[in-house]
Amino acid sequence: MSDALINGLAGAGGGIIAQIITYPLQTVNARQQTERDLKKEKRKVGAIEQMCQVVKQEGWERLYGGLTPSLVGTAASQGVYYYFYQIFRNKAETAALQSQKKGIGDGSVGMLSSLVVAALSGCVNVLLTNPIWVVVTRMQTHTKISKKDHSNRLATTAPEETALPVIEPLSYGTSHVIQEVYDEAGLFGFWKGVFPTLIMVSNPSIQFMLYETMLKRLKKRRALSKQGNNGVTALEIFLLGALAKLGATVVTYPLLVVKSRLQAKQVTTGDKRHHYKGTNHYLKFTLY
Residue 281: inside a domain, yes or no?
A: no
Three-state SS at 30 = helix
Residue 240 belongs to a domain: yes
Domain match, 29 and 94 both: no
Distance between terminal CA atoms of the chain?
54
**Are 118 and 74 contained in the same domain?**
yes
Residue 249 lies in a domain: yes
Q: Angle 174-185/111-141 helices, nearest 10 degrees?
A: 100
- Do 139 and 240 lie in one domain? The reply is no
- What is the H or E stretch that residue 79 is in? helix 67-101
In a domain, 30, yes or no: yes
User: 182 and 81 share a domain?
Assistant: yes
How many structural domains compose the chain? Answer: 3
Whether residue 3 lies inside any domain: the answer is no
The verdict on 59 and 70 lying in the same domain is no
Same-domain status, 29 and 105: no
Total residue count of the chain as it appears in this document: 288
Do 206 and 250 share a domain, yes or no? Answer: yes
Q: Are residues 178 and 86 in the same domain?
A: yes
Same domain, 127 and 28: no
Residue-by-residue DSSP string for 107-119:
SS--HHHHHHHHH
On whether both 115 and 207 belong to a single domain, the answer is no
Instruction: Please provide residue 192's backbone torsions phi and psi, each rounded to the nearest 5 degrees.
Output: -65, 140
Count of beta carbons in the 10 Å neighbourhood of residue 136: 27
Q: Are residues 131 and 118 part of one domain?
A: yes
Biggest alpha carbon–alpha carbon distance for the chain: 80
Name the residue range of residue 258's domain: 199-268
Is 97 found in the same domain as 206? no
Alpha-helical (H) ranges within the chain are 3-33, 38-42, 47-58, 67-101, 111-141, 147-156, 174-185, 194-199, 202-225, 234-263, 279-287
Is residue 11 one of the residues assigned to a domain? no
Do the domain assignments include residue 126? yes
pLDDT in tens, the chain (288 residues): 677 777 667 777 877 888 888 888 888 888 887 776 555 555 566 778 878 888 888 788 778 888 888 888 888 887 888 889 889 989 998 998 988 888 887 878 777 888 888 889 989 999 999 999 898 888 888 776 544 444 454 444 444 444 444 344 455 678 888 988 898 888 988 998 888 888 888 887 788 878 888 888 888 887 777 555 667 788 888 898 899 989 988 988 888 888 888 877 766 555 555 555 555 555 555 543
Residue at 129 is within a domain: yes
Residues 6+ apart with CB under 8 A from 192: 134, 185, 262, 263
CA atoms within 13 A on the CB side of 132: 17
pTM of the model: 0.68
